[in-house]
Amino acid sequence: MEETGRLLSGTEIAKNLRAGLNEQVKNLKEQFPGFTPGLNIIQVGAREDSNVYIRMKMKAAEEIGIKASHVVLPSSTTQAELIRVLNKINLDPSVHGIIVQMPLDSVNKIDSTLITDSVLPSKDVDGLNTINQGKVAVGDLVSGFLPCTPNGCMELIKRTGIKIEGSQAVVIGRSKIVGTPAAELLKWHHATVTVCHSKTKNLPQLVANADILVVGIGQPNMVKGEWIKQGAVVIDCGINSISDSSKTSGYRLVGDVDFEGAKTKASWITPVPGGVGPMTVAMLMKNTVLAAEKAVSKLANTQWNLSYLPLKLSEPVPRDIDIARSQTPKNIMELAEEIGLSVADVEPYGATKAKVNIKILERLVGKPIGKYVIVCGITPTPLGEGKSTTTIGLSQAIGAHLNKNVFACVRQPSQGPTFGIKGGAAGGGYSQVIPMEEFNLHLTGDIHAITAANNLLAAQIEARMFHEATQSDKALYSRLVPKDKGTRKFSAIQLRRLTKLGINKVDPDSLTEDEIRNFVRLDIDPSTITWQRVMDTNDRFLRKIRVGLSDTEKGHERDCQFDITVASEIMAVLALTTGYTDFRARLGQMVVASSKQGVPITADDLGASGALMVLLKDAIHPNLMQTLEGTPVFVHAGPFANIAHGNSSVLADQIALRLVGSDGFVLTEAGFGADIGMEKFMHIKCRASGLKPDVVVLVATVRALKMHGGGPQVVPGNPIPAAYIEPNCELVEKGFSNLKKHIENIRKFGLQVVVAINRFTTDSEDELSLLQRLCKDNGAFDAVVCSHWVVKELQPWPKRSYLYNLEQSIEEKIEVIAKEIYGAEKIEISPAARVQIERYKSQGFNDFPICMAKTHLSLSHDPTLKGAPTGFTLPIREVRASVGAGFLYPLVGTMSTMPGLPTRPAIFDIDLNLETGNVEGLF
């Protein structure tokens, strides 16, 4: 009886593989709730054979638990169009594997190699990208993806039990899909491989020496049984259609090997169909699950592999700008990869800054968050406390020196102070955000976008009042809801206004005259307009202006003003928003005025909020930069702390907390003194984000405390008085009253305080020791001189609380802050402010938190009162509402929302070096 080779069924093996993959996917979903491996199959044209293969892949994916999508493009698709589709899918974090179904059935010429190379190597589950093919060629069979058909062949060969190492293998065919990679895989499994092709001579003799024979030549029954070595393993990758009148279809499928002849010689042989085909699909699914596991592993990995930048220390210490320029930053994409961001998460703006898409929060949703540290300061003095420097320095110390995951989150500086009196705001010395020029100037244009959006809304307010004053109801309606080809249609934002008015109609022609009047008439009371134009420049002469002076405005004049951009409510909204939907809603809810009937008028009522969202669509994403030592920094939003809430964005903090992981740290800076930035952080930002800090770092200096203790006035341009240079423990102890008050305030929120004493060379050891003792004796967990760092286990207090409940009256909440935080005896509310308060109560805004707009130079309203004044009366001149941001802000004393330039602004020192192109004089 003639011996027959055993059948090597790919169908059965593939079935077992799919079952195993199904278990792997179940485990993934259990470990990471909400996570599902994603596969995207792109097809050009509608070839029926391609449709058959795609149905097989879709069915296998469904069986395993992979979410598979099939994108069908018309046969008219061009190469450029296909690449655009691929690029979009490449950037989709929910897609882990991409297949471009071949052949491409297009009437246009498309380079298939270019297309497979356009698939991200990390998503190339076909293994056809040149990078993945190159890895196979050099023996890297782990980091990339193995091509599916050759890998399926290897799995089949292994199942036979043949010893591959040292065996003679012959591969017939050298295509990049089957033959060439199959030969490479066999080679790296230590077989001795001969590759044969159409030009090979003496093919039967070569085949006769093969212990393992892999055939993928595309010619039916080409390899004869008599060629084959007795006991060889035969893997037939061919699938060909030949005529067969006995079949209903008129044809049957055969391989490249004469099966009937070969089965008498082979020890194992794959059938056609049912051999290699099912294994190709199984290996495709295996690669997809592997891609998903890699994505999850990257997501779950809590320890970054950060490459730190060595500092180039010099004596004497150079200028800040020179230090910044002496460092070569990492490419921002390199930093992004190091901290676990994918290409899909990041949009680079050049080589040193990038936007991080907020959609990453969807991917990070189940990841534990890190330790949340807020850095704030004592009441500022002209001598400077170094709060930003401490924030960045602490970040560098935790990251580059303690090798822990750490993120610093800081505000984007306004160009007002940059060109006014403050100069740059990137930190200082060897603790800076770099490049300094990018940080301090335009960055990625967020502030400009806010300026444009704010002023568009201001323009719409004036235009709407003008048009209502000069047109009838009918004329207004015909222009607001114009006919297009004889038909009127409400826009989406107009439908929202109708709903707000209680008009449940969608047909514009069905409204009554009264309904039309209510719809078109906002009837804005000009005296109640709180929305001002803004610009990001200190310009005192814009504090009061008159608009509408042109004859074309027909006498509709109005007194108003400019604010600085960082005082815009849109800046506060950006800083407090938690996502796209929330951002859009907040923009629409912004109240710009009241009607003459006392009804709040919103950006939605003016039809502007959608346009505002478009202008701000990029600004919502945090900006990624780095410190001098290569640790990551988010720079996002820049609300002033004295005239807004003074904190960087909630989104930046949320993303950073997820990225650093449970053992990491996020340092977020609050503006000015703790009485302003930290209080607003707790009462406003934490309420918006749902987050609570673990500890507060309070920055102080010996010389600043000397000023609070009664030290002489510091005049810019003059030498620093001797009192700040020579030892004077008495002045330090007197000035400690300011620091003590801030420690007390922080403890009222149930938070531990670590005082960071920013050391200067003029500080004496006695002064530093005294200050450390006073801090510890008055409630600080520790006081650290910041020429080094310390590591201590800090147990957070179990109770963290707010100082007021939102349901308290507006007056009561203002009084709580005045008394508990500032040390006031009482408050005094002006008649104008009382009218505003009553209006906001009637409009439903009583339960908003309070954002006090007051001087940063004193705990009181009087900038000349240093230390910790008590017994004063806090004057409330005016109260405004930032409904979109979700707070009310009382203006204390003579607080201005538009700073002015000093006699000698920083612009005198700022210039562009025409030879090097470098910015000079920023710091």
Buried b (16+ CB within 10 A) or exposed e, 723-759: bbeeebeebbbbbbbbbbbbbbbbbebebbbbbbbbb
From 195, 256, 193, 194, select the one nearest 224 (Cα to Cα).
256
Q: Where are the alpha helices (DSSP H) in 607-764?
A: 609-615, 650-660, 679-680, 686-689, 702-708, 729-748
Question: What is the C-alpha separation between 239 and 738, in angstroms, rounded?
Answer: 85
- Residue 484, strand partner residues: 487
Residues 523, 597 contacting (CB under 8 angstroms):
yes
Question: What is the C-alpha separation between 787 and 372, in angstroms, rounded?
Answer: 23
Local structure of 535: helix, strand or coil: strand
Pairing mode, strands 431-434 and 623-627: antiparallel
Instruction: Please state the length of the chain.
Output: 923
Q: How far is CA 912 from CA 190, 440, 579, 918, in A?
A: 63, 14, 38, 6
From 444, 439, 260, select the one nearest 346 (Cα to Cα).
444
Residues 587, 613 contacting (CB under 8 angstroms):
yes
Query: Active site residue: 15, 57, 176, 483, which one?
Result: 57
From 603, 593, 612, select the one nearest 451 (Cα to Cα).
612
Pairing mode, strands 887-892 and 67-73: unpaired
Residues 216, 150 contacting (CB under 8 angstroms):
no
Local structure of 456: helix, strand or coil: helix
Pairing mode, strands 826-829 and 431-434: unpaired
Give the CB-side neighbour count of residue 303, counting CA atoms within 13 A: 3
CA 851-854-860 angle, 5° bins: 115
Residues 167, 211 contacting (CB under 8 angstroms):
yes
With a CB cutoff of 8 Å and minimum separation 6, the contacts of 370 are 405, 407, 656, 657, 660, 661, 662, 663, 664, 665, 666
Residues 42, 101 contacting (CB under 8 angstroms):
yes
- Residue 410, strand partner residues: 635
Question: What is the C-alpha separation between 644 and 901, in angstroms, rounded?
Answer: 20
Query: Does residue 748 carry a catalytic annotation?
Result: no
Residue 182 CA, chain-centre distance (Å), reads 42
Residues 789, 402 contacting (CB under 8 angstroms):
yes
Could you write out the DSSP letters of every residue in 14-40?
HHHHHHHHHHHHHHHHHHSTT---EEE
| Maximal C-alpha separation, the chain | 114
Q: Which residues are catalytic?
A: 57
